[in-house]
Amino acid sequence: MTVQNPNSFRNGPDETGHFGLFGGRFVAETLMPLILSLEKAYDVAKNDPGFQEEMRSYLAHYVGRPSPLYYAERLTEHLGGAKIYLKRDELNHTGAHKINNVMGQILLAMRMGKTRIIAETGAGQHGVATATVCARFGLKCIVYMGAVDVERQKPNVFRMKMLGAEVVPVVSGAKTLKDAMNEALRDWVSNVEDTFYCIGTAAGPHPYPAMVRDFQCVIGREAREQMLEREGRLPNSIIACIGGGSNAIGLFHPFLDDKDVAIYGVEAAGHGLSSGAHAASLTGGRPGVLHGNRTYLLMDDDGQIAEAHSISAGLDYPGIGPEHSWLHDIGRVQYISATDTEALEAFQLLSKLEGIIPALEPAHAIAKVCEIAPKLPKDHLMIVNMCGRGDKDIFTVAEHLGGMD
Amino acid sequence: MTIRIENRFAKVRAEHRAALVTFVMGGDPDPETSFEIIKALPAAGADLIEIGMPFTDPMADGPAIQAAGLRALAAGQTLIKTLALVTRFRQGDAETPIILMGYFNPIYIYGVDRFIADALKAGVDGLIVVDLPPEEDAELCKPALDAGLSFIRLATPTTDEARLPKVLTNTSGFVYYVSVTGITGSAISDHSGVASSVARIKSHTALPVVVGFGVKNAETAETVARGADGVVVGSALVEAVRLSLVDGKATAKTVPAVTGLVGELIEGIRRVHKV
């Protein structure tokens, strides 16, 4: 494969939905007409000032945007290097970045006349965001969630039910996020007339990776403006955790053409990359085809998809969005990884130093900040995407730490 | 192009009936029993055989075929072993068309060119790859056609008039009409629309049109046979395998459970005289 560096890193995907080798539309014929009509509807909406204004209004008054860019003074002092800013997307309504994308997709679904919304969820954050926005607009909502995740994310299951959603525990396969996605696709194949599939990450068949990214780019656009306002210049580096990679691509994309901005994506290394029990698709996987797109995947030599592992249910996925695979291959973004243990330490550190309890997902990014920041000069500006709050994870963390008293 | 598919449809037409297309999962419930099942299919009444290539994440399949795939994987099935199964079948049967059906990732990882070469060598006639729509024809469809394998496409109720020509271009062997929007094994309450849907497809192609989804006994096979050139049965056969197992293992009843059902199905099909 030859990889050419483009003039801009922000022009993807091409019209067939490819980011270089990655992306595409690997779906059953039943879904193909639906995906084509979604692509058409999104193209119209994207260029419609009315749709954009509607989005802006709901993001401001319902979601609570813009989210602050917060100077983490004590974390910065503690690490003694780079000046660290947190992009506070955990302060959004529902406590994570997921709602940025859900709001966009649901407004689009309504424009398309769809009345039944389905979604997959891992940690439950995307499920909660979808259930929330469906409640707001009076839409029927069905959330597929692996039976294992239903068990380990009980508070979110309860929240979804309170919001009127039907939560369907998925018992097929490994009973986690990838199986929830399979089941949502099966639902969509079976209910083609009235149903809109609200995918939670920047993956899946074209146009989802591009559409989800566009909706999440509000994170990076705001952060860029806020940093210019605060410091009068761009950050030197930005960093975010990656499961499917929607919060990361949302932060990264507006900075991709700023060649002096170093970009880091942090995958979940679980028990360690050499243990085999991890969710680091880029570091430990290879290109394959799953869930409608070609991307890096964890699998065996027969092409059977492997089970991912991470302490964070939101990162516990054996694939990654196709644009990340491309950014990895062309080298624009550096992908690194943090283990469960490192994330747990970062979780506690940020809670104690800043009074901010991060979700276990961004705790992976914080863990790498702890490693990178001390080696950098004090005038190095760094933005970390705080993509979710940790309330949902306190029981998991307590279990690992053996109680908190 | 291999000629077995064409020859078989010609033979079936000469008998004034629809064809019976049987789907079983390669390696289910174990490699040896799977071979015994496939070997016994033609004598039981199968005209064409589809062999599933198991995959961990079969996103268009219902619970029955998902479970069959997982049984096969648990028993150690791989793509290499599925190809070996075909090679072994061909030693005793040079006529019955074999179509491999599955998902793209195992083929992609095996290597597309290597897979095509090995499939031809094993005696495979055609491929059905569920997650490769016409938009992705460059991946496997075109090289497979160039090498002489048929590439059989699924047409569905969502494939409208405007899209149908796109789906039929680069389709060969036959067209597989999926009669419901749903996963495999979905119940179908009304087969009356089948004939008109088949006629719609036939106005665009000279290829035989087979119909699947929801066929589980002689009656449903008979109904579908009225409107189609062939009847596909999958979920009911892999369910017959499952119900014959004891503690997940094959029993003396396993092969007869499948051949018995195939016998019933072909009986239903034979009740319909096609002109």
pLDDT in tens, B100-120: 999 999 999 999 999 999 999
Q: What is the pLDDT of residue A398?
A: 92
Report yes or no: A176 at the B interface, CB cutoff 8 Å.
no
Q: In chain B, pLDDT over 70 holds for what percent of residues?
A: 98
Are A19-25+33-53+98-212 and A62-95+216-401 the same fold in CATH? Answer: yes
What's the pLDDT tens digit per position in A365-393? Answer: 999 999 999 999 999 999 999 999 999 89
CB atoms within 10 A of CB B42: 18
Length of chain A equals 405
To the nearest whole Å, the CA of A287 is away from the closest chain B CA by: 9
Whether A291 contacts chain B with CB within 8 A = yes
Q: Over the stretch B204-262, which tens digit does the pLDDT of each residue have?
A: 999 999 998 789 999 999 999 999 999 999 999 999 999 999 999 999 999 999 999 99
Residue from the list A16, A30, A172 with its beta carbon closest to the beta carbon of B158: A30
Tell me whether B196 touches chain A (CB under 8 Å). Answer: no
pTM, full prediction: 0.96
> Could you say which of B57, B70, B132 has the minimum Cβ distance to residue A182?
B57
The residue type of B198 is V
Which tokens hold the place of B70? Answer: 């997982």
Using the CB atoms, write b or e for B172-207: b if 16+ within 10 Å. bbbbbbbbbbbbbbbebeebeebeebbebbbeebeb
Of all residues in chain A, what percent carry a pLDDT higher than 90? 90
Is the domain covering A19-25+33-53+98-212 a CATH 1.10.490.10 domain?
Answer: no
- Does residue A221 contact residue A210 with C-beta atoms inside 8 Å? no
The domain made up of A62-95+216-401 has a fold known as Rossmann fold (3.40.50)
Tell me the mean pLDDT in the region A102-112: 98
Output the six-digit token pair for A89.
């997307």
Q: What sections of B127-168 are H helices per DSSP?
A: 141-147, 164-168
Q: Look up residue B159 and give its two tokens.
A: 């494939």
Q: Is the dihedral of CA B188, A189, B144, B137 positive or negative?
A: positive
Q: Is A388 helix (H, G, I), strand (E, B) or coil?
A: strand
Which residues are paired to A118 by β-bridges?
A: A142, A197
Provide the pLDDT for residue A84.
98
| A297 interfacial to chain B (CB closer than 8 Å) | yes
Chain B residues close to A192, C-beta within 8 Å: 158, 181
* From B6, B28, B50, B239, the catalytic residue: B50
Mean of per-residue pLDDT scores for chain B? 95
Interface contact B183-A34, CB threshold 8 A: no
Residue A1: pLDDT band with limits 50, 70, 90 = very low
Q: Is A190 an interface residue toward B (CB < 8 Å)?
A: yes
Task: Give mean pLDDT, residues A297-305.
Answer: 97
Alpha helix (H) residue ranges in chain B: 4-14, 31-44, 63-74, 79-90, 104-110, 112-122, 141-147, 164-168, 194-202, 218-227, 235-244, 254-270
Q: Going from the N-terminus, what domains does chain B have, and what CATH number goes with each?
A: 4-270 (3.20.20.70)
Q: Is A225 left (phi over 0), alpha (psi -120 to 50) or beta?
A: alpha
Is residue B61 annotated as a catalytic residue, yes or no? yes
Size of interface A-B (CB pairs under 8 A): 116
- Whole-number Å distance between alpha carbons of A82 and A374: 7
A243 with A278: CB under 8 angstroms? Answer: no
Q: Which CA distances in Å does A299 have to A150, A286, A302, A383, B106?
A: 24, 8, 8, 33, 10
Q: By percentage, how much of chain A surpasses pLDDT 70?
A: 98
Q: Is some CB atom of chain B closer than 8 A to the CB atom of A292?
A: yes
d(CA B47, CA B98): 10
Render A51-105 in DSSP notation, one character per residue: HHHHHHHHIIIII-PSPPEEE-HHHHHHHTSSEEEEE-GGGSTTSBTHHHHHHHH
- For residue A313, what pLDDT is reported? 85
Q: What is the pLDDT of residues B21-50, one digit of tens each?
A: 999 999 999 999 999 999 999 999 999 999
| Residue positions counted in chain B | 275
For residue B187, what are its two tokens?
A: 């119940």
The model's pLDDT over A109-157, given as tens digits with 9 standing for 90+, comes to: 999 999 999 999 988 999 999 999 999 999 999 999 999 899 888 889 9
CA distance A235 to B216: 63
Residue A99 has a pLDDT of 98
| A322-330 and A208-216 helices, crossing angle to 10° | 80
Q: Which residue has the tokens 């080798």?
A: A21
When CB atoms are compared, the residue of A33, A192, A288 closest to B108 is A288
Residue B7 at interface with chain A, using a CB cutoff of 8 Å: no
CB B25, CB B68: distance < 8 Å: yes
Confirm or reject contact between A21 and chain B (CB < 8 A). Answer: no
B169 touches chain A (CB under 8 A): no
Q: Is the pLDDT of residue A2 over 60?
A: no
CB–CB contact B158 A301 (8 Å): no
Q: Nearest by CB to A190, which of B103, B134, B186?
A: B186
Taking the CA of residue B43 and the nearest CA in chain A, the distance in Å comes to 32
Residue A57 buriedness (CB in 10 A; 0-12 / 13-18 / 19+)? exposed
Tell me the domain boundaries of chain A: 19-25+33-53+98-212, 62-95+216-401
State the DSSP H helix or E strand holding residue A230, giving kind and residue range, or none if neither.
helix A218-231
State yes or no: is B264 an active-site residue: no
Strands (E), A204-350: 237-242, 262-270, 286-290, 292-297, 334-339
Nearest CA in chain B to A170: B63
Task: Specify the higher pLDDT residue, B71 or B191.
Answer: B71
Interface with B, mutate which of A29, A178, A317 (most B CBs under 10 A): A29
| pLDDT at residue B212 in the model | 87
pLDDT digits (tens, 9 = 90+) for A164-195: 999 999 998 888 899 999 999 999 999 999 99
ipTM of the complex: 0.95
Report the C-alpha gap between A106 and A189 in whole angstroms.
19
Query: Tokens 């270089």, residue?
Result: A20
Residues 118-137, chain B, touching A (beta carbon < 8 A): 130-136
